Amino acid sequence: MAAAQVADDVAEDVDELVVRSDIRNLAIIAHVDHGKTTLVDAMLQQSRVFRDNQSVEERIMDSNDLERERGITILSKNTAIRYQDCKINIIDTPGHADFGGEVERILNMADGVLLLVDAVEGPMPQTRFVLRKALELDKKVIVVVNKIDREAARPDYVVDATFELFLELGANDAQCDFPVVYASGFQGVAGMKADDLEDSLEPLFETIMKEIDPPSVQAASPLQMLVTNIDFKEHKGRMAIGRVQAGTIKQGSQIAICKEDDESACRTGRVVELLVYDSFKEVPVDEVQAGDICAVAGLPDVKIGETITHTDAPNPLPTITVEEPTVTMSFMVNTSPFAGREGKFVTTRNIKERLERELERNLALKVTPGATPDVFMVSGRGGLHLSILIETMRREGYEIAVGPITVITKTIDGKTYEPFEEALVEVPEEHMGSVVELFGRRKGRMLDMSAGLGATQVLKYVIPTRGLLGMRSQLLTATKGTAVLNTNVAGYEPSCGEISTRDNGSLVAHETGTATAYALESCQERGIMFVKPGDSVYEGQVVGMNNRGQDMRINVCKKKQLTNMRTANKDQTVVLDRAKDMNLEAALEYITTSELVEVTPKAIRIRMAPGKIPKV
């Protein structure tokens, strides 16, 4: 069919909207650890997705190892349940603001959202972030007060605080008139009143059917499907995931792939396989009509933000935009004395190819060349965003060295601006002084102080992102592990000058060898040790934190000279302090511009940067 004829047909049908009453597209958004994935589990169970005798893991939507270990959602997931005669597509989104790039693009597939808030904590800083995105896209919001079974639950306060948050974010009258459902995802119960819960999630399902509008689509128009996610299957290759906005996509059909702002990138392809989500499975189908969410196989070069459309009348949808990164760090080839011993992928080419693959699905990430060919500057939305990438690469067999996290500044009207964050700290009253002092040293401005649960206080600050680097470990130390810190990017403000994030120097290994108990007994008087007897160390490796402000070389490999009076058995009576466990997050928080973190599949080490090893 000629392109002109197709265009004429489109003009006739463009206003003919069809309501798909058999579908609801729903995203679930919440602050981290407010029970989002657990609630999805309960919805799957009660919709009879699984057999009665089927063994099902908890948090089934958290499918990768990192998500299960940390108890957070990192990547968005799609599933679908059947309720009565309707198919409800459910999109489980990340709760942490560092993965906001996932939330921003995934909301394009949904017609409404479930906003989960904890029945005790209420809306938190990252609730603000995801809610703002939903309101900007004019999505219908259902508020679910989750964990209503907690002893300290205060539902009236939580609903009032959520309403105030809607007002602060500029919600219109219709958005502020949100329905509220009270639920316990863990127990699988819900109700329209906090003190009147049914024995199932039936009230939640009913509210979804009533409040979330079914998609209104242009069924007779040419195909339009915006690619909002990419998945990889071992036997199918790259899978383009998105919602069909108009028309119908069919298996085996010829399609065009276009981008709104780049006509030269338009190309053709063929749909090899078509899958929809149903009962937590991907089901092959012959065609998918407008309004439904599907995965398309057979397009090896398709990218997020592109539109799958009709070959004769390509009409790309607006591309996906996400907020700019706020922090950056350097990724480089590992050049330590232990380089190449533990990793499978160690070359510049290996690292470059892996980062390029990550860019295809991680829209909030940016990679630029560094000062030398073996250095890459990787920018993201926060420290957790970058550390998850590093940990994923480490588990895949990559061996790299990374530099400290630094903020990305902007120059506006000749002035330097830097990112600031809103920080919410819940701390027992006896430790409030330590928290106020710590935030004051890091240029934090207190905005509010209110009573928390029990004998706790909730402090609200605006603080430069630079000031938060290394903050968590110091905050836990100052409050004996009792403080809870939540943060969210607040925007850019004029730079506030010098901030000291670490007062201690490093203890640096003097020689290569094996750490001994004999040497560590005297070395631990200098500070906190990071290594224990039997650990292999090399010259220039950071083996501890100095009690003083300067870097110092020490010998942790020194052996006792054995004589008749001094025997090896004497080492068995040596009493050592427990070495500090420097995992990836702790190491990234610790280092400054003179240090690097060596990341291998078997170890995390801190070392001095080339030319920075202190003299004896």
pLDDT tens-digit map of 201-245: 999 999 999 999 898 888 888 899 998 888 877 777 888 888 999
Of residues 490, 482, 475, the one with CA closest to residue 423: 490
Of residues 107, 193, 97, the one with CA closest to residue 145: 193
Enumerate the β-bridge partners of residue 256: 268, 309
Of residues 518, 520, 498, the one with CA closest to residue 509: 520
With vertex at residue 379, the alpha carbon angle to CA 460 and CA 326, rounded to the nearest 5 degrees, is: 25
- Match 């809306």 to its residue by tokens: 123
Asked if residue 535 lies in contact with residue 513, where contact means CB atoms within 8 angstroms, the answer is no
pLDDT reported for residue 52: 45
C-alpha 127/C-alpha 488 separation (Å) is 9
Domains of the chain and CATH, by start: 20-214 (3.40.50.300), 218-309 (2.40.30.10), 327-407 (3.30.70.870), 410-494 (3.30.70.240), 506-608 (2.40.50.250)
Of residues 398, 417, 422, the one with CA closest to residue 407: 417
Enumerate the β-bridge partners of residue 227: 242
CA end-to-end distance (rounded Å), the chain: 80
* Length reported for the chain: 616
pLDDT reported for residue 106: 78
291: its two tokens: 């309004």
Q: Sort strands 23-30 and 86-92 into parallel, antiparallel or unpaired.
A: parallel
Burial 193-217 (b: 16+ CB within 10 A, else e): ebeebeeebebbbebbeebbebbeb
If DSSP codes are grouped into helix, strand and coil, which group holds residue 408? coil
23: its two tokens: 């579908």
- Match 């030269």 to its residue by tokens: 264
C-alpha 572/C-alpha 282 separation (Å) is 59
Q: Sort strands 281-284 and 224-233 into parallel, antiparallel or unpaired.
A: unpaired
For residue 283, how many other CB atoms are within 10 A of its CB?
A: 12
- Residues of the chain under the 50 pLDDT cut: 1-14, 49-63, 67-68, 71, 73-74
Amino acid at 299: L
C-alpha 301/C-alpha 250 separation (Å) is 19
C-alpha 194/C-alpha 395 separation (Å) is 44
DSSP 436: H
The whole-angstrom distance between residue 297's C-alpha and the CA centroid of its chain comes to 26
Asked if residue 334 lies in contact with residue 343, where contact means CB atoms within 8 angstroms, the answer is yes
**Residue 313, phi then psi, degrees to nearest 5:** -140, 70
Alpha-carbon separation of residue 585 from 338, 383, 390, 588, 589 (angstroms): 21, 8, 10, 5, 6
C-alpha 560/C-alpha 574 separation (Å) is 12
Asked if residue 158 lies in contact with residue 147, where contact means CB atoms within 8 angstroms, the answer is no
Assessment of whether the complete model's pTM goes beyond 0.85 = no
